[in-house]
């Protein structure tokens, strides 16, 4: 029905037609990018209350031959609208798991947990659990070092199916974080039923923490909610020492953001982690 809708619009709206062909071109390029291995996985450090690096969020970029480094905001949505999110998501998972296996034999890195973003479309696949297990098997990665980040939009899906998949993967040792928490659809009643390990405070509540008292109230509530549900909590988008200190004061014990580091290539992350000194 969607494709038919696009075709109809093409005849009436030249601007739309330009957009449709630009999209088609981008889709084709992204398909090639996957084959030519133009995707890169970056790693953004996650830090605990003592300043120690506890892990990294894996964030995909596209090393485009002409455009340079393309941010995910300009191709993940497109990938999600096409089937391309499936090979892309699999590549991200495989790359992250291979990285975990490499780090597992380095004493100073063996503790690191990698958080991987999983799009709802990807999670919704009937064989998602089998796919993840196959990647764990082929990479030899320790499932306890793999965290999957899901978003609240998942809660619009068949809850029983969501819970069954999460439960199966948690039985293998994988943990789950709920990303962008506070921005979406969560009803607290649903939250209680999800086998989660962590809430991730969205950066929109962190950004103005020091100037908007309401954001501090929300952040405090999320921390309290996490504690009451027995979950850990991490704040993203932490850019200033003041934000980190306010979050610490609210009881939030883990942070991610430019204050510590932007997302880094594997090589740069390893150097960063080597040279990092907790205050
Ligand atoms: P997200 O999962 O919420 O990721 C956090 C975003 O915030 C990242 O943007 C990160 O670079 C950025 N960020 C980190 N620290 C700070 C900070 O201190 N301040 C600010 N303003 N931003 C900060 P990025 O890498 O451009 O990714 C954007 C979104 O693309 C992600 O949002 C996620 O939804 C999606 N994405 C990225 N990689 C993947 C992937 O491998 N698979 C899927 N399905 N989605 C991905
Ligand atoms: Ca995320
Ligand atoms: Ca997020
Ligand atoms: Ca986000």
Q: Which atom of ligand 1 is nearest to the CA of 85?
A: 44
pLDDT in tens, 268-279: 999 999 999 887
The size of the chain, in residues, is: 279
Residues of the chain with pLDDT > 70, as a percent, come to 94
Which of 264, 262, 260 shows the shortest CA–CA distance to 276?
260
Q: What is the mean pLDDT of residues 8-34?
A: 76
The conformation of residue 119, written as its DSSP 8-state character, comes to -
Confirm if 197 and 175 have CB atoms less than 8 A apart: yes
Q: How far is the CA of 34 from the centre of ligand 2 (A)?
A: 21
pLDDT at 10 over 50: no
Q: Are 34 and 56 in contact (CB under 8 A)?
A: no
pLDDT, tens digit (0-9, with 9 covering 90-100), for 141-191: 999 999 999 998 888 888 999 999 999 999 999 999 999 998 877 677 788
Q: Who's near 156: CB < 8 A, 6+ residues apart?
A: 185
- The predicted pLDDT at position 14 comes to 67
Give CA separation, 8 vs 11, 14, 16, 133, in Å. 6, 12, 10, 42
The tokens 């709920």 sit on which residue? 178
**Cα 41 from Cα 150, distance rounded (Å):** 18
For 94, the 3-state DSSP assignment is: helix
Q: Which residues line ligand 1 (CB under 6 A)?
A: 44, 59-60, 71-73, 76, 89, 92, 117, 119, 179-180, 203, 236-239, 257-258, 263
pTM: 0.93
CA of 73 to the centre of ligand 2 (A): 12
CA 202 to centroid of ligand 4, rounded, Å: 7
Instruction: Look at 18 and 85; give whichever has higher pLDDT.
Output: 85
Question: Cα of 235 to ligand 2 centre, how many Å?
Answer: 11
The residue nearest atom 12 of ligand 1, judged by CA position, is 237
Best of 39, 46, 56, 59 to mutate for ligand 1, by most ligand atoms within 8 A of CB? 59
Question: What is the reported pLDDT for 40?
Answer: 97
pLDDT at position 207: 93
Q: Is there a contact between 58 and 41 (Cβ–Cβ < 8 Å)? A: yes
221, 212 Cβ separation under 8 angstroms: no
Mean pLDDT of 241-248: 96
Of the candidates 45, 116, 107, 88, the one whose C-alpha atom is nearest the C-alpha of residue 266 is: 45
How far apart, in whole angstroms, are the C-alpha atoms of residue 175 and residue 195?
A: 9
C-alpha–C-alpha distance, residues 85 and 79, integer Å: 5
**ipTM of the complex, rounded to two decimals:** 0.98
**Tens of pLDDT along 28-87?**
999 999 999 999 999 999 999 999 999 999 999 999 988 899 999 999 999 999 899 999
Give every CB contact of residue 16 below 8 A, 6+ residues apart in sequence: 9, 10
User: What pLDDT is attached to residue 214?
Assistant: 87
Going by the DSSP 8-state scheme, the letter that residue 187 receives in this structure is -
Residue 193 is predicted with a pLDDT of 87
């Amino acid at each position: 029905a969607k494709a038919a809708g696009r075709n109809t619009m093409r005849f009436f709206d030249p601007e739309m037609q330009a957009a449709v062909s630009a999209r088609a071109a981008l889709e084709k390029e992204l398909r090639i990018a996957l084959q030519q291995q133009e995707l890169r996985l970056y790693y953004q450090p996650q830090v605990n209350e003592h300043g120690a690096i506890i892990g990294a969020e894996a964030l995909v970029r596209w090393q485009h031959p002409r455009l340079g480094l393309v941010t995910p905001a300009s191709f993940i949505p497109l990938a999600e609208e096409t089937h391309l999110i499936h090979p892309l998501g699999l590549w991200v998972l495989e790359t992250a798991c291979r990285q975990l296996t490499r780090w597992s034999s380095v004493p100073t890195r063996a503790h690191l947990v990698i958080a991987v973003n999983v799009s709802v479309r990807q999670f919704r696949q009937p064989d998602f659990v089998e796919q993840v297990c196959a990647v764990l098997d082929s990479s030899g990665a320790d499932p306890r070092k793999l965290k999957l980040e899901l978003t609240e939009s998942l809660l619009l899906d068949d809850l029983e199916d969501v819970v069954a998949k999460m439960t199966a993967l948690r039985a293998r040792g994988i943990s789950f974080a709920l990303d962008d928490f506070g921005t979406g659809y969560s009803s607290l009643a649903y939250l209680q039923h999800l086998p989660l390990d962590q809430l991730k405070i969205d950066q929109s509540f962190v950004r103005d923490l020091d100037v908007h008292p309401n954001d501090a109230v929300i952040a405090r509530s999320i921390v309290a909610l996490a504690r009451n549900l027995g979950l850990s909590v991490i704040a993203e988008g932490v850019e200033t020492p003041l934000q980190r200190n306010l979050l610490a004061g609210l009881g939030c014990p883990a942070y991610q953001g430019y204050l510590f580091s932007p997302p880094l290539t594997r090589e740069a992350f390893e150097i960063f982690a080597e040279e990092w000194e907790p205050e």
